[in-house]
Amino acid sequence: MARQKRPGREVTSITEACPKSPKPVIDNPHQPLTTRSIRFNQTHLIALGLASLIVFSVSYVGLGYMFTLPMPQLGTFSGEIFGGPEEDRIESLFQLEDGECIAAGRTASWGLGGSPDAPFDFWLVRLRRHGKQVLWNHTYGTNRTEGTPALAVCSDGGFALAGYTLVNQSGSFDADVLLVRTDAAGHQLWSQTLGGPEGDYPEAIIQCDDDGFAIAGKTSSYGAGSSDAWLLKTDSTGTPEWNHTYGGPDADGASDLIETDSGFLLVGTTQNSTTTETHSDGYLVCTDTDGTLLWNCTYGERRNEFFDQIIATRSGDYVIRGGYGSGPYPGDTKLRDRLTLTGITANGDILWETGWMGLSAYGSPGFIECHDGGFAIVCSQFTRGHGFGDTNVILTRTDTQGESLWTNIYGGDGTDEGGTAILQMTDGDLIIVGYAVHTYPYPTNDMDACLLEVEDIPIMSYILYYSMHHNITQAFLVGMIISFTILIIFAVILAYHFRKRTPPQYPQTD
């Protein structure tokens, strides 16, 4: 029997013939979504334009100020350049109880002098910090040439200076120790000339607990080698009590000392010669209260290492500033081009060691422990400056383990500057002293002392640091690359923020 067609409504499409339940719209991250083109309205374009203007303005104006205009003078950084018509230089600095500073160095502008080529005398300068004023200055010396003295602040508020005085002006460099004692106003109380028949050179002085003085340096008058590390002890009037030498058959010397509970610690350099080469190592000497040697250590894995300064830290350990050179001769100070810090225990064991390839140990750098337990180092460095001069003051701040936190550069147009001593004031600011050599409009030998007060914060950007070691063109390109990168990142973030997503469309059923 034939199948008959049942009556019903007419089917007009396959969809209607096979209806399906509508799919719920689920925001599934694995489900592909269709997107609409990004459309920026007027507000978005204005925001992007302002961001572009800000980034390019900072880059262009900042780089232009740094490189096309001269570097700000030291006065811009609360600095002061002072001195006379000849060469003047500061290398020691201490803070006094009244908040002012006392500095010591050498001068050829005032004093007696003796040699037409180097008529230097000791120079003691009292500085007012905030007023940037020289309150007073005094010179001390003989009719011979005196070198840069070490400085100690005494318990009665006076000062002691120890430097060398040339005995023979004919060029043989025979020298003795000149020890000068002053009152709190810088007036000389007495002086003593100490030493033997040959060259004796003091490098550091401290006042001991008995009000006498301990002087460290190097001597060719005593000892076994061509020169030896030397420790000289005097009473409170400068009369010698005893002296000891330390070292081997070659050249040795002490650069700094501190007094400990059991005696003294001295740091310096010891030279070692073989049949094929001569090199130097850092030298640490521990003595008792009478200067008798207890033990000594040498430190050296590189060529021509040396130690220059030692401080006692708040933790009870010690930190030594030194460096090493790249040249073959230990005595060539021009090659002392790598600066290091070494943390040691009271027994001389190394706790940590850090170094900087870009910081030079040439030029008597200064070094202190800061209030936070980190360290601050100031030195002079060839910076290939574009408007900065050839040499500038370099300030590096480290953490408690000697790892670098930041580095600042200070200088002036038409001068070469160097930092030689640093201290941190009670309010945290850093005071730097050194020298400035006038080089514009033409090089001269007119060296003056300079004082610089800065905050304990970084101010130098990577672009500035890059330019100091390369050139202005590369620095400008780096700045432009950084600017474009910031703009692209900003545009991507903005686009992602306003990105529209639409779910797939499904047929609707009755």
How far is the C-alpha of 468 from the C-alpha of 464, rounded, in Å?
Answer: 6
Dihedrals φ, ψ of 333, to 5°? -70, -20
Q: Which residues contact 4 (CB under 8 A, 6 or more apart)?
A: none
Nearest Cα to Cα of residue 184 among 156, 206, 163: 156
pLDDT (tens place) for every residue of the chain, 510 residues total = 544 545 545 544 444 444 554 544 444 544 444 444 445 555 666 666 666 666 655 554 454 444 333 333 333 334 677 888 888 889 999 999 888 899 999 998 888 765 566 588 999 999 887 656 789 999 999 888 898 899 999 999 999 999 999 887 555 568 999 999 999 999 999 999 999 989 999 999 999 999 999 999 999 999 887 899 999 999 999 999 999 999 988 899 999 999 999 999 999 999 887 766 778 899 999 999 999 999 999 998 766 888 999 999 999 999 999 888 755 444 444 445 678 899 999 999 999 998 875 565 555 678 999 999 999 998 877 655 433 556 778 888 899 999 888 878 777 666 677 888 999 988 888 888 888 887 555 555 678 888 888 877 776 444 444 444 444 455 556 566 766 777 777 777 766 666 654 555 555 555
Q: Are strands 430-438 and 88-95 parallel, antiparallel or unpaired?
A: unpaired
Q: What SS3 state is found at 317?
A: coil
d(CA 499, CA 370): 51
Q: What is the CATH number of domain 75-471?
A: 2.130.10.10
List Cβ neighbours of 303 (8 Å cut-off, separation of 6 or more): 279, 324, 325, 326, 328
How many other β-carbons are positioned within 10 Å of the β-carbon of residue 493?
A: 9
**Nearest to 398, CA basis, from 352, 362, 431:** 352
In DSSP notation, 185-249 reads: T--EEEEEEE--SS-EEEEEEEE-TTS-EEEEEEESSSSSSSBEEEEEEE-TTS-EEEEEEE--S
Q: Give the model's pLDDT for residue 122.
A: 95
For residue 309, list its beta bridge partners.
321
Residue 131 phi/psi, 5-degree rounding, is -80, -10
What residue segments make up the domains of the chain, in order of their start?
34-67+474-502, 75-471
Whether 494 contacts 48, CB under 8 Å: yes
CA distance 144 to 121: 8
Residue 166: strand pairing partners:
175
Centroid of chain to Cα 174: 34
> What pLDDT was estimated at residue 370?
95
C-beta separation of 303 from 329 below 8 A:
no
Task: Name the helix (H) or strand (E) containing 80.
Answer: strand 80-82
- The pLDDT of residue 305 is 87
What is the pLDDT, as a whole number, of residue 424? 92
Strands, E, within 88-168: which ranges? 88-95, 101-107, 121-128, 133-140, 150-153, 159-166
Contact in structure between 478 and 459 (CB atoms under 8 Å): no
Q: Which amino acid is located at 231 in the chain?
A: L
C-alpha angle 477-478-479 in degrees, rounded to nearest 5: 90
**C-alpha span between 330 and 303 (Å, rounded):** 8
Distance CA 111, CA 273 (A): 42
